[in-house]
Copies of this chain bind each other. A is one copy, B any other.
Amino acid sequence: MTALEQLIEALRRLPGVGQKSAQRMAYHLLQHDRPGADALAHALQQATHSVRHCERCYTFSESPLCPICQDSRRDARLLCVVETPADQAAMERTASYHGYYFVLQGRISPLDGVGTREIGVEPLLARAADGQVEEVILATSFTAEGEATAHVLAEALRVRGLRSTRLARGVPVGSELEYVDLGTIAHALVDRRAT
């Protein structure tokens, strides 16, 4: 394989990148943006070298404890469980949550051999039993696997006498009812709240 072919191969490993895009990226970098290629190579090495997981919440962190876990002004009574660091970042961008986080290693997916051990349920249970946490907010995805994960976690927390809640399901903000899928409307009806 030539260096160009190897580059295309390596780019194809990125999520959402097929043969055509990988080729376009490689040609672009070599023809028009060699400094960009150097910058990317450097950033990749830097990131794989220095980005580790927070010892407490398991999100990405360059220090043993991530900035959020280090922040003592957060509400220690709340612990929000998400599937990935990306989900945590989305929660943070809402600027409406001020507790701490626990980042799972994905979600339970029996078909892929991913169970409670793989996603880190034990560390979560230990973290939630620190005596300060009063409510565990389950913010896993609203997919079949995310729901199953939330269910398993809720059970495990209940057994240990810990209270858990789940993000509300409902009609997305800004949507016209006509275009919302029926399952979502049905859930929004069941979970309707007093005005």
Shortest distance between the CB of A129 and any CB in chain B (Å): 26
Known: A30-B51, A85-B31. Is A10-B24 also a contact (CB below 8 A)? no
Please encode chain A, from 1 to 39, with 1 for each CB lying within 8 Å of some chain B CB and 0 for all others.
011101101110111110001011111111101101111
Does A144 make an interface contact (CB < 8 A)?
no
A39 touches B24 (CB 8 A): no
**Contact bitstring A171-186, B, C-beta under 8 A = 1, else 0:** 0000000000000000
Check A3–B85 contact: CB distance below 8 A: no
Residues of B within 8 Å of A13, CB to CB, are 33, 36, 39-40
- Asked if A62 CB lies within 8 Å of chain B CBs, one says yes
Q: How many copies does the complex hold?
A: 2
B47 engages A7 (CB within 8 Å): yes
In the complex, which residues of chain B have a beta carbon less than 8 angstroms from the beta carbon of A49? 3
Q: Which residues of chain A from 26 to 74 have any CB-CB distance to chain B below 8 Å in the complex?
A: 26-31, 33-34, 36-51, 60, 62
Contact A37–B47 (Cβ < 8 Å): yes
Interface residues of A in 64-106 (CB under 8 A from B): 84-86, 89, 105
Q: Are B39 and A3 in contact (CB under 8 A)?
A: no
B86 A3 Cβ-Cβ under 8 A: no
The CA-CA distance from A171 to B41 in the complex, in Å, is: 43
Determine whether the beta carbon of A44 is less than 8 Å from that of B37: yes
Contact of A3 among B24, B27, B62 (CB under 8 A): B62
- Cβ-defined contact, B6 with A46, below 8 A: yes
Given known contacts A15-B24, A31-B85, A33-B13, A3 and B47 CB-to-CB distance under 8 angstroms? yes
